[in-house]
Structure 1
Amino acid sequence: MELWWQDEARVGQQGTLTRIWAERGSRPRAPRDQRYDWAYLFGAVCPARDTGAALVLPFADGEAMNLHLAEISRNVTPGAHAVVLLDGAGWHQTGGKLQVPDNISLLHLPAYSPELNPVENIWQFLRQNQLSNRVFDRYTDIVDACCDAWNALTADPGRIRSIATRPWASVTI
């Protein structure tokens, strides 16, 4: 049995501003774009295995969620079953339209409780270290930045485990 956490984040030209180091008394500059192009980073992590599965997609709906569930399913240990915890976004509850693979069970978190989902902390880490204070010229630049950020996260041994482990959420058999 594996415990996976799932969420999605919108990354785009509007961007986010984060803290940066600057000389005391100075006012650091950070670029900000006013255009409206974005991509959705669907991500899921398994802290116990220190691994994750992600897709960068141009939309967030039931079809995108089906693609992401299939990607998570491919990353579950062969012969294991995964419980995927996720929030109550509309595309997570499409009235039987989700195609949940046989090796996955979905468990919805309580409404309005993002603090329970450690993937929110993953997004915060990626924004602080990879995705903030920059301008994307094209949609492909957004996709490339999301892919690079996720690949850097998963290539860093112990990073997912350190960010996403919750002592109150573990599986013991």
Structure 2
Amino acid sequence: MQTIAAEHPGACIQLWCQDEARFGQKGRTTRVWYERGVRPPGIVDQRYKSLYLFAACRPGTDDVFALALPRADAGTMEVFLEHFARQLAPGVHAVLILDQAGWHDERALHVPATITLLPLPSASPQLNPVERVWLYLRERYLSHRVLDHYGAVLEAVCRAWNKLVDEKGRLTTLTAYPYLIASEIP
């Protein structure tokens, strides 16, 4: 972090975490209350229309940014980074922690000057608080449902995201990883 601060003198450095998740027509099942010894009926769908929700959050705060995009690749990652950079306050430089997905390779991306990518170690999703956000969205708002078409998937995901954002303090508790909060630079 000291190197980043030295490269961007006078900038307020903020730590953000980024990830993307696939959401589709086939809803996931979760545990539900039901009569003991009887399996509850469930709906299953074999269709495959889906979208990706790209999101970034500031650990330990309710500050988030998200875009729903049709696929996950270097092109859509660049779109996300461009829009994310635009929403940053003037004078802010974001250090964006992310996994090592193929489309996160800094050499293949045009990364805006106000963002520095910081990859997590390989195979360590438990270090990224956005993973907890996906789990919460799926279990709380997007489970046990079948969606008819791409537009319905988009509407359901956006509605779920907006409900999550409206829950004051929920993102703060989901993303407050002690190792990230302690490293915030004022």
TM-score range, shorter-chain basis? over 0.9
Matched with 2:54 is 42
Measure, in 1, the Cα distance between the counterparts of 2:96 and 2:173.
19
CA contact (8 A) 2:74 2:109 kept: yes
| Structure 2 CA distance for partners of 1:105 and 1:25, relative to 1, 3 Å | same
Alpha-carbon distance, 1:155 to partner? 1.6
Aligned to 1:172: 185
Query: Which one of 105, 110, 125 corresponds to residue 99 of structure 1?
Result: 110
Question: How far apart, CA to CA, are the structure 2 residues paired with 1:72 and 1:22?
Answer: 43
2:83 to 68, 71, 95: 71
| Separation of aligned partners in 2, 1:132 and 1:87 | 25
Q: Aligned partner of 2:155: which letter?
A: D
Shift of 1:48: 4.0
RMSD of equivalent CA atoms: 1.4
Unaligned runs of 5+ in 2: 1-12
Q: Percent of pairs identical after alignment?
A: 47
Unaligned runs of 5+ in 1: none
Greater Rg by CA: 2
- Equivalences, count: 172
Aligned counterparts, 1:25-36, within 5 A:
25-36=37-48
**Distance in 2 of aligned mates of 1:69 and 1:151:** 20
Distance 1:117 1:48 in 2: 12
1:86 equivalent in alignment to 2:98: yes
Q: 1:78 to 1:26 in 2, by over 3 A?
A: farther
- Asked if residue 156 in structure 1 is aligned to residue 167 in structure 2, the reply is yes
Contact 1:130/1:149, CA 8 A, preserved across alignment: yes
After TM superposition, the structure 1 = structure 2 runs for residues 98-137 of structure 1, keeping only pairs within 5 Å, are: 98-137=109-148
SS at 1:41 equivalent = strand
The residue aligned with 2:35 is 23
Distance (whole Å) between structure 2 residues aligned to residue 23 and residue 148 of structure 1:
31
Per-residue deviation, 1:131: 1.1
Task: Say which of 19, 29, 33 aligns to 1:7.
Answer: 19
CA distance in 2, matches of 1:77, 1:26: 54
TM-score normalized by structure 2? 0.87
What TM-score do the two structures reach when normalised by structure 1? 0.93
Please list the CA deviations of residues 70-117 of structure 1 after superposition, one character each: whole Å capped at 9, or x if unmatched: 222123233111110000000111x63312112111000000001111
1:30–1:134 CA contact under 8 A, matched in 2: no
Q: Which amino acid aligns with 1:56?
A: A
